[in-house]
Amino acid sequence: MRRLSWFNATSLTIGFAFLYMPMIILVVYSFNESKLVTVWAGFSTKWYGELFRNEAFLDAAWVTLRVAVFSSTLATILGTAAAYVLVRGGKFFGKTLFSGMIYAPLVMPDVILGLSLLLLFIAVGLDRGMLTIILAHTTFAMCYVAVVVSSRLVSFDRSLEEAALDLGCTPWDAFRSVTLPIIAPAVVSGWLLGFTLSLDDLVIASFTSGPSSTTLPIKIFSAVRLGVSPEINALSSILIGFVTIGVITFSISTKRAVVRRKREENAVM
Amino acid sequence: MAEPNSKPNTTVFAPWTDPDAVPLIRFRNVTKRFGDFTAIDDLTLDIYEREFFALLGPSGCGKTTMMRMLAGFENPTEGRIEIGGQDMANVPPNLRAVNMMFQSYALFPHLSVYDNIAFGLKRSDMPKEQIPDRVNEMLRLTRLERFAKRKPHQISGGQRQRVALARSLAKAPKLLLLDEPLGALDKKLREETQFELMDIQEKTGTTFVIVTHDQEEAMTVASRVAVMDAGVIKQVDTPPAIYETPNSVYVADFIGDVNLIEGTAAKTGEHAYEITYAEGVDPIKVTECEHEIAEGAKVTFAIRPEKIVVTQDPPEDRANAMQGKIIDIGYLGNLSTYHVELPGGQMVKATMTNASRISRRDYTWEDTVWLGFRSSAGVVLSE
Ligand SMILES: Nc1ncnc2c1ncn2[C@@H]1O[C@H](COP(=O)(O)OP(=O)(O)OP(=O)(O)O)[C@@H](O)[C@H]1O
Ligand SMILES: [Mg+2]
């Protein structure tokens, strides 16, 4: 390993301090004995205990988890289907437009996305609750899934599907027994990405949630407005843990898949 | 002359000469365009059951495209393709009794060698308990028993090619399309596999359409050979006929080694002509020329190097004799190729077997020798 120069080491330290200092402080203070957030009074895990006795938070956590699982699953199915059609569907009218439009929600401000969904739900008379949050999260997560999966499909050797058809598969059977197993790592990555995005979304959820269903980020946000409590710190620390695990798994699985694919393709080509 | 390939069976296999024979595959004025580019140009062709039909042609001439239309991955832009009397226009690949071995092999990377071969069988009406036997038979045939459990990326290029071959053979289809099936195999294994293929064909009666870049291979295995150029079939014939009586300069030049001598034709009798190719030398005498040639037409005389003998003295038993100077000798072990320059500057290649040791030969570089050949040894081409 090469040692970093003095300059590089400093920039790295400052950069990472900037990124992670707030989170480290948050995690450290979640183990604070004192109720006052700014005064350190010794180590304790009592706020975590407190948190697990707080019904409102537990409810919100349960809602958030279900929303994340359902919406990312739904988004994975829809996003994979969309990617498949856009990459494999041959030429059809408006294909370029559709391919471009799939990216639009990625760059659209959350506020606008949330607001438009809210208007839609009101227009069709759908009561706001968990269902509407799931639908909203599915909407934006499926774009991410479509992008991840279609980039995999582009590099996928078409003749494998043809070989499957040639050997007697129906198109659906060919997709299920050849295409899907090969693109599975990308699909799983897409799911994890959707799951993580749904977990920490505040803006869209606050537009589309109802009084009966509050997600954790909304709960935290409203609790903080009444003053930061160590309990919130504890909760946020747990969330950070979850998201970190999600992101790490996502990147490891993507990286692994890329490495394996390189190896297989080098070998097969 | 147009004898079919020497097959061990007694009755001659030549359904294309039988006007009542019904072809298995019919291309009827098939054109395939990709955008403005014409990959196949107005192709009409019949291929008969039990044939071993070889497609030869330079890279990009449309061989794979023809195969893909038969397998059902491409639709003809114009014209129609029939297999077994049925118009194939709207029949999807999975409903065609056709299997294809892909040029790129297209092995399933997530499945083992065994499962790759079993893939098609599992989707056929073969009873489940017979599948392992069939797969093992295929593994034995292609000598892959030891690799059954490996994934495609864990075996060599030649082994992969054999897996692809085994996979396409497993279902014993009515029509098998092989796109350069043996290119990655070493010479010995390739020859064995060629005989294996011919054997399979004898046993199962499968019709083979095979693309190859190896002329020797086409000559060995094929009942008929089609020579293609830029989307057009230039000639379809049995291997001996393609070799001995090419119908154009293109085919003569594409198949094997050939001397092309340009000149003007003059009729001297029934099926007999004289070709004048240079001033002050005897014209080339040609007999047994089956097609009519206009008086004074510009033609090309084509003759294979092995049909020319090189001698020190003028040959007496050959109708044609020309004198020239040896410019180069290519030594190939069993054969030597002599590059001889004729007085007009025309270069002629002649191949002789090395019956005696090279040091005992009477002539060498810069020597003047005689070239002799029979009047029926070459062909006159006007195209
Ligand atoms: N999908 C396609 N779109 C556009 N052009 C194509 C397509 N497929 C083939 N071609 C063109 O059609 C021509 C014939 O291609 P084909 O693959 O049939 O060649 P080939 O005879 O099999 O060559 P090779 O011996 O190199 O395999 C080529 O010039 C190729 O570029
Ligand atoms: Mg090809």
* pLDDT tens per residue, range A69-123: 999 999 999 999 999 888 887 777 777 888 888 888 888 888 998 999 999 999 9
Domain positions in chain A are: 54-268
If you measure CA to CA, which chain B residue comes closest to A266? B153
CA B226 to chain centre: 7
Least confident of A162-166, A242-246, B160-164, B242-246: A242-246
Q: Which is more confidently placed, B283 or A72?
A: A72
Backbone angles phi, psi at B318, to 5 degrees: -120, 140
Q: Running DSSP on this structure, what letter comes out for residue B143?
A: T
The topology under which CATH files domain A54-268 is MetI-like fold (1.10.3720)
Q: Residue B207's closest CA among B91, B99, B82? A: B99
Domain positions in chain B are: 15-97+173-249, 257-381
Residue B41 has pLDDT above 70, yes or no: yes
CB neighbours of A200 closer than 8 A, spacing ≥ 6? A217, A239, A243
Residue A53 is encoded by which pair of tokens? 């006795």
**Nearest-angstrom CA–CA distance, B62 and B55:** 10
- % of residues, chain B, pLDDT over 90: 31
How crowded is residue B195: how many other Cβ atoms within 10 Å of its Cβ? 12
Of ligand 1's atoms, which has the minimum distance to the CA of residue B35?
4
Q: What's the pTM value of the predicted model, to 2 decimals?
A: 0.77
Binary contact (A168, B167; C-beta < 8 A): no
Quote the mean pLDDT of chain A: 86
User: How many A from CA of B62 to the centre of ligand 2?
Assistant: 7
Mean pLDDT score, B253-260:
88
Give the closest of A166, A263, A269 to B100, CB-based: A166
Mean pLDDT score, B370-381:
87
**Nearest-angstrom CA–CA distance, B274 and B264:** 8
Q: How far is CA B75 from CA A139, B66, B79, B168, B362, in A?
A: 38, 10, 10, 22, 62
Residue found under tokens 């090279």: B358
The helix (run of H) or strand (run of E) holding residue B228 is: strand B224-229
> What's the pLDDT tens digit per position in B334-353?
888 889 988 878 889 999 88
Atom 7 (ligand 1) nearest CA: B34
Would an 8 Å CB–CB cutoff place A26 in contact with chain B? Answer: no
The pLDDT of residue B360 is 66
Nearest ligand to the CA of B74 is 1
- The amino acid occupying position B215 is Q
Q: Residue A190's closest CA among A104, A89, A53, A82? A: A82
**Nearest-angstrom CA–CA distance, A225 and A58:** 19
Residue B2's pLDDT band, with cuts at 50, 70 and 90, is very low
Atom 24 (ligand 1) nearest CA: B59
Q: Which residues surround ligand 2, an ion (CB under 5 A)?
A: B 64, 103
Binary contact (A164, B119; C-beta < 8 A): yes
> What's the pLDDT tens digit per position in B84-124?
888 888 889 988 889 999 888 999 999 999 999 999 999 98
Residue B5 has pLDDT above 70, yes or no: no
Q: Tell me, using a 6 A CB cutoff, whether residue B39 lines ligand 1.
A: yes
Q: Which is more confidently placed, B71 or A100?
A: B71
Backbone angles phi, psi at B323, to 5 degrees: -100, 145
The pLDDT of residue B345 is 82
* First vs last C-alpha separation in chain A: 34
The pLDDT of residue B7 is 46
The pLDDT of residue A174 is 92
Residue A268 has pLDDT above 70, yes or no: no
Mean pLDDT score, B238-267:
89
Residue B3's pLDDT band, with cuts at 50, 70 and 90, is very low
**Sheet (strand B175-179) strand order:** B98-101, B175-179, B207-211, B52-56, B224-229, B232-237
> What's the pLDDT tens digit per position in B198-232?
888 887 788 999 998 888 888 888 899 999 998 89
Confirm if B121 and B135 have CB atoms less than 8 A apart.
yes
Residue B133's pLDDT band, with cuts at 50, 70 and 90, is very high
Would an 8 Å CB–CB cutoff place A263 in contact with chain B? Answer: yes
- Residue range B15-97+173-249 in CATH 3.90.25.10: no
The torsion defined by the Cα of A26, A30, A33 and A34, in degrees rounded to 10, comes to 50
Would an 8 Å CB–CB cutoff place A211 in contact with chain B? Answer: no
Chain A residues with CB under 8 Å of B102 CB are 159, 162-163
**Nearest-angstrom CA–CA distance, A103 and A170:** 31
Residue found under tokens 């009074």: A41
> What's the pLDDT tens digit per position in B348-362?
999 988 877 766 677
Residue A235's pLDDT band, with cuts at 50, 70 and 90, is confident
**Nearest-angstrom CA–CA distance, A236 and B102:** 55
Mean pLDDT score, A231-252:
84
Residue B1 has pLDDT above 50, yes or no: no
Chain B residues with CB under 8 Å of A159 CB are 102, 104, 106
Q: Tell me, using a 6 A CB cutoff, whether residue B65 lines ligand 1.
A: yes
Give the closest of B108, B120, B152 to A168, CB-based: B120
> How would you class A192 by CB atoms within 10 Å of its CB: exposed for 0-12, middle for 13-18, buried for 19 or more?
buried
The helix (run of H) or strand (run of E) holding residue B225 is: strand B224-229
Q: Tell me, using a 6 A CB cutoff, whether residue B62 lines ligand 1.
A: yes
Which one of B31, B32, B33, B34 would you pick to mutate in the ligand 1 pocket, going by the greatest count of ligand atoms within 8 A of its CB? B34
For residue A261, give the 3-state DSSP assignment.
Answer: helix
The pLDDT of residue A1 is 58
The pLDDT of residue B69 is 92
Test mutation, B95, B123, B168, B178, chain A, max A CBs within 10 A = B123
**Nearest-angstrom CA–CA distance, A224 and A86:** 44
**Nearest-angstrom CA–CA distance, B115 and B163:** 10
The helix (run of H) or strand (run of E) holding residue B266 is: strand B259-269
Confirm if B188 and B196 have CB atoms less than 8 A apart.
no
Confirm if B339 and B349 have CB atoms less than 8 A apart.
yes
DSSP per residue, A34-61: SSSTTS---B--HHHHHHHT-HHHHHHH
Nearest ligand to the CA of B58 is 1
User: How many A from CA of B65 to the centre of ligand 1?
Assistant: 6
Q: How far is A243 from chain B (nearest CA, A)?
A: 31
The ipTM, to two decimals, is: 0.78
Residue B181's pLDDT band, with cuts at 50, 70 and 90, is confident
Least confident of A133-137, A146-150, A183-187, A259-263: A259-263
Residue B134 has pLDDT above 60, yes or no: yes
User: How many A from CA of A103 to the centre of ligand 2?
Assistant: 37
Chain A residues with CB under 8 Å of B120 CB are 166-168
Q: Which is more confidently placed, A96 or A149?
A: A149
**Nearest-angstrom CA–CA distance, B311 and A8:** 83
Give the closest of A166, A167, A182 to B109, CB-based: A182
Cα dihedral across residues A176, A182, A183, A189: positive or negative: positive
Atom 16 (ligand 1) nearest CA: B62
Chain A residues with CB under 8 Å of B119 CB are 164, 167, 177
CATH, domain range B257-381: 2.40.50.100
Residue A164's pLDDT band, with cuts at 50, 70 and 90, is very high
Q: How far is B279 from chain A (nearest CA, A)?
A: 56
Give the closest of B104, B119, B167 to A159, CB-based: B104
The pLDDT of residue B202 is 81
The pLDDT of residue B11 is 65
Mean pLDDT score, B310-338:
85
Residue found under tokens 């002509």: B273
Q: How far is A228 from chain B (nearest CA, A)?
A: 52
Mean pLDDT score, B39-48:
91
The pLDDT of residue A265 is 66
Would an 8 Å CB–CB cutoff place A90 in contact with chain B? Answer: no
